[in-house]
A and B are shown apart, each in its own frame.
Chain A
Amino acid sequence: MEAQVEAAVELDHTGKSEPAALRASGLGKRYGSVVALDQVGLSVAPGELVGLVGANGAGKSTLVKIACGLVRPTSGTVTIYGMPAGSREARRQLGYLAELFRFPGWSTASEVLALHQRLAGSTRGASERDELLELVGLGDVAGRRVEGMSKGMQQRLGIAQALVGEPRLLLLDEPTSALDPAGRRAIRTLLLELRERGIAVLLNSHLLGEVERVCDRVVILAGGKVAADGRPEQLTHAGGVEIQTGNGTRRFPSARREDIPKIVSELVAAGVDVYEVTVIRSTLEDAYLEAVDRS
C-alpha cells in the first residue's frame, strides 16, 4: 500500500512527474505535555482527494494548520508542492477553510471574496467572484452582508473563499459541518469536480460516509498517529453474503462475491425461492473503529 501511495506522489493523473501536493514527514506537534501529532507521515498527490478522519483531539486540525503555516511543528517537515509549509510560495498554492472561521459581519459576500482576491494576488476580478458565488449557490446574495447570512450560507461562502486564486491544493477542515443534506451533496459534487480539474484536496471530516463516498484515499489518525492509510475499499473488507429467500433472510458470513453463483444454484436446487442477494462489506466506520481500537 505504501508503494502505491509513493507512486501516486511521483506521477500525477497525466503521468507527469510532480512533487506531492502535500507531504508530511516525521511530523510532530506538542502543546506542553500534550502530544497532538507523533511522527506523522502523509502525502497527497496532485489531483488526489484524500480524507482525513479521526476522533476529536486526534490531531486532524493541527495537521491541517501546520500545512497552512498557522501552527509551527515541533518536529518533522511539511511541504506543499515541494515548498516548505508556511512559506509565501507554499501559501500561494493553497486554499484553506478553517473548522472555526468567521468573516466580518459588516462585509458583503462579494467584499469578502474581493479582499481575498487582493491578498491572493488574483487578477480575475468580478468574474471570479461571480463564478465562485454561483458555484456554491450564493450567486443571488453577492451583496448581502455576512451578518445577514445563515450559518450554512457562511459555510458556503467559506468554501468560495478557499477557492479564490485558483489554488492547487485545498485544505478543508469540516467543510460540511453546518450544511443541510442538500448542501452536503452540493459540496460532494463540487469536490469531485475539483478533482477532475486536477486540484488536490485534503478533506478533514467527521462524516465517514461522506469521506467514503468521495475520497480516493482515507487516512485515519488516532492519538496523533496514522492508524490506517489506504483506499476506502482497501480499508473496508468483505463481511459475507446475505440472501433474501422465500423462507426469510439467510446469511453466509464467510462467503465471498465469487461464491454467490454456487450458493444460489444450491438454494434453487433445494427448492428455495431466491429474491435478492447482497454482498456485505464493512463500512469505513467499522474500519475506523477497528483502527482506533488497534492504536
Chain B
Amino acid sequence: MTATLIIARHVLQESVRRRVFVVVLVLTLLFLALFTLATVEAFNAQSPFGGGGSFSPQAITAVTLNGLGVFASLFLATVLAVFLTLGAVRGDAERGLLQPLVVRPLGRREFLLGRFVGAVTVCVAYVVVLYALVVVIVHQAGGLWPDYVIGPGVALAGAVTLLVAMSLLGSVFLSATANGIAMFMLYGAGLVSGLLAAIGAALNAHTVLSIAHDITVALPFEGLYQSALHALGSNQTGLTRVLVNLGPFGASHPNSVGFDIWAVVYLAIVAGGATLGFERRDL
C-alpha cells in the first residue's frame, strides 16, 4: 500500500471512529425528512396562477426544489469538507499529531495527497448521494426529473473537491480556527457572487455582473455550483425560465468549457501551493 493510500485510509478510519459518519447520517436524515415534507407540500400548494403556454408551475416548483436540494447538498458537504481538513497541517502540528507521521519515510506531498484523497472520497460520496436522494424525492413528489441529472452531480463533486483542496491549503498556513473561519467566509463570498450575478442579470447591470464574474473566477467552486443550478432547468423556456432565473436558485448561464478547464487549473494551483507551503514549513 502506498503512503498516500495509508494516510487516506487513516482519514477514513478517523471519520468512522470519531463518529463523524453517525452524526452526519443522523443530521442528513433529518434534513431529508424536512425536505421531503416541504417538497410534498410545495407540489400540493401549486401556483394559484394556473398553467398554460410557456408557463409551468410544476416545472418551476421542481427546478426550485432541486435547486434548494443542490444548495443544501453543497452546504452540508462544505461543512463536512472543512471540518475534516481545517487542521490537517498546522492544527495537527500544533497538537503534536503530525510530527510522528511525517518523520516516517513518506514525502510530505504524499501525506498531503493522502489527506486530500481521504477527505475527497468522503465528501464527494456524500454530496453525490445526497443530491441523488434530493432528485429522487422531487421526482416522487412532483413526477419531474431535472433537465440534466448527471451534470449537476458532477459539478457538485467538482465544487466539493475544490473546497477540500482550498481548506487543505489554508491548513498549511492558518491555525485550525482561522482556517475554518476563512473557509466559511470564502464560501459565503461565493454565494454572494451568485446572488450578485442573479441581480445583475435581472437589472442588466454590467458592472455588477462583472464583479460577480471576477469573484466566481477567484472562487470557481461557485461557478460549478451555478453550473449545477443551471443544468437543473436549462431546457425550460419562456416565462418558466424567467421565473426560475429570478428565484433564489436560478442561474442564467451555463459555464463555458474554458471555465471548467480553469477549475482544473485552479485545483492544480491550490494543490501546488499547499504542497510547496507544506514542504517548506518547519514543524
Contact = CB atoms under 8 A, between A and B. Distances in A.
B124 to A, nearest CB: 23
B1 A103 contact: no
9 pairs of A and B residues whose beta carbons are closest in the complex? A119-B104, A106-B17, A101-B96, A102-B96, A70-B283, A71-B282, A91-B105, A68-B103, A100-B96
A141 to B, nearest CB: 18
Interface residues of A, number: 28
B100 A118 contact: no
5 contacts: A72-B280, A88-B105, A102-B96, A104-B14, A118-B6
Given A101-B96, A102-B97, A118 B14 contact: no
Interface in B74-124: 95-97, 99-107
Given A70-B282, A71-B283, A119 B105 contact: yes
Contact of B103 (A69, A100, A102, A158): A69
B23 to A, nearest CB: 14
B206 interface: no
A120 B104 contact: yes
Interface in A123-165: 158, 161
Interface of A: 65, 68-72, 88-89, 91-92, 94, 96, 98, 100-104, 106-107, 115-116, 118-121, 158, 161
B189 interface: no
A94 B103 contact: yes
B90 to A, nearest CB: 13
A10 B183 CA distance: 54
B3 A72 contact: no
B99 A119 contact: no
B102 A70 contact: yes
A65 B105 CA distance: 15
* Among B13, B14, B97, B105, residue most surrounded by chain A Cβ atoms (within 10 Å): B105
A170 B282 CA distance: 21
Contact of A119 (B18, B97, B106): B106
Given A71-B282, A120-B104, A107 B99 contact: no
Nearest to B18: A106
A103 B32 CA distance: 36
Contacts of A94: 103
Contacts of B104: 91, 116, 119-120
A50 B110 CA distance: 33
A70 B99 contact: yes
Given A70-B282, A88-B106, 9 more contacts: A70-B103, A70-B283, A91-B103, A98-B96, A102-B95, A104-B14, A119-B104, A119-B106, A120-B104
A70 B105 CA distance: 12
A89 B100 CA distance: 17
A96 B105 CA distance: 12
A116 B104 CA distance: 8
Given A71-B283, A119-B6, A101 B100 contact: yes
Interface string B264-283: 00000000000000001011
Nearest to B3: A119
A106 B97 CA distance: 12
Given A91-B105, A119-B3, A103 B282 contact: no
A161 B99 CA distance: 12
Contacts of B96: 98, 100-102
A84 B96 CA distance: 24
A72 B282 contact: yes
A160 to B, nearest CB: 11
A189 to B, nearest CB: 24
B100 A103 contact: yes
Contacts of B6: 115, 118-119
Contacts of A98: 96, 99-100
B64 to A, nearest CB: 41
Nearest to B1: A118
Contacts of A161: 100
Given A118-B1, A119-B6, A65 B101 contact: no
Contact of A121 (B18, B100, B105, B283): B105
B148 to A, nearest CB: 41
Contacts of B95: 102
A91 B3 CA distance: 14
B106 A106 contact: no
A72 B106 CA distance: 17
Contacts of A70: 99, 102-103, 282-283
B278 to A, nearest CB: 12
A106 B19 CA distance: 10
